[in-house]
Amino acid sequence: MNSASFWDRSAAKYAKAPIPNEQVYEQKLVKTREYLNPHSKVLELGCGTGTTALNHAPYANHIDAWDISPKMLEIARRKQVQQHISNVSFHCGEANSIALPEQEYDLAMAHSVLHLIEDKEANLRAMYASLKPGGVLVSSTACLGNKMNWLKLIAKPMKWLGFWPSVYFFTSTQLEAAITRAGFTIEYSWLPPKAIAHFFIARKPH
């Protein structure tokens, strides 16, 4: 089963699941908004059902939000209509296969997705290229290598059984190094207590 069909199958359940830690999620939204203004052009990869893009929409000029799963996007577009939001465009595509415009965006987001992409380094380079000089990357990513390497033992059978997608293991330190290798300078780093997802904000130099 490929990634798109896994996420298509999971979409309805994912949409109904509560946000794991509302307070932490809210803090990440607030922090991200320090980097947004009414002129901001924003890119999001792996947007899922659009929750974060729709949350940020009132604080930006326009958001291009991409996901590999048509079903996730169907839900996102439904929510967009319900919320009367017109400045988000949802697109279908695999994160490393999209022809992103160069130096187009002020802010690029990738939340809970870099650990699902086989070549995250290529993806970080693509986001870097799509940002204007001085633009920022905002990423909240499961760093399963920090404490959950034991999950590697079950990752293959879980994928084979169709319960999990492909999942890639790295630590916070390894992710930070990958972000830096792509050319960014880390500006903000936050691993909330007991959390798996490390939140980074990193800037493309001017």
94 part of the interface to ligand SAM, by CB under 6 A: yes
Nearer to ligand SAM, 54 or 117 (CB): 117
Does residue 49 contact residue 14 with C-beta atoms inside 8 Å? yes
Nearer to ligand SAM, 115 or 203 (CB): 115
DSSP label at residue 173: H
Residue 139 CB, nearest distance to ligand SAM (Å)? 10
Nearer to ligand SAM, 98 or 205 (CB): 98
Does residue 205 contact residue 183 with C-beta atoms inside 8 Å? yes
**How many Å separate Cα 77 from the centre of its chain?**
17
- Computed over its alpha carbons, how large is the radius of gyration of the chain? 16
**Binding residue for ligand SAM (CB under 6 A) from 69, 130, 139, 141?**
69
Both tokens of 57, joined, read 């929409």
The DSSP H or E segment spanning 188 is: strand 185-190
Nearer to ligand SAM, 28 or 41 (CB): 28
Site stretch for ligand SAM (CB under 6 A), options 33-41, 55-63, 64-72, 143-151 = 64-72
Both tokens of 99, joined, read 């022809």
Site stretch for ligand SAM (CB under 6 A), options 66-74, 79-87, 100-108, 179-187 = 66-74
- Contacting residues for 76 by C-beta, under 8 A, at least 6 apart: 47, 48, 49, 50, 53, 54, 65, 67, 90
Using alpha carbons only, give the angle 150, 190, 197 rounded to the nearest 5 degrees.
Answer: 35
d(CA 72, CA 49): 5
- Contacting residues for 85 by C-beta, under 8 A, at least 6 apart: 54, 57, 58
d(CA 106, CA 143): 25
124 part of the interface to ligand SAM, by CB under 6 A: no
The residue written with tokens 């980097």 in the block is 35
121 part of the interface to ligand SAM, by CB under 6 A: no
Name which of residues 156 to 175 contact ligand SAM (CB under 6 A).
none
107 part of the interface to ligand SAM, by CB under 6 A: no
Site stretch for ligand SAM (CB under 6 A), options 79-87, 105-113, 150-158, 175-183 = 105-113
Residue 133 CB, nearest distance to ligand SAM (Å)? 26
Nearer to ligand SAM, 15 or 202 (CB): 15
Binding site for ligand SAM (CB under 6 A): 3, 7, 45-48, 51-52, 67-69, 72, 94-95, 111-113, 116-117
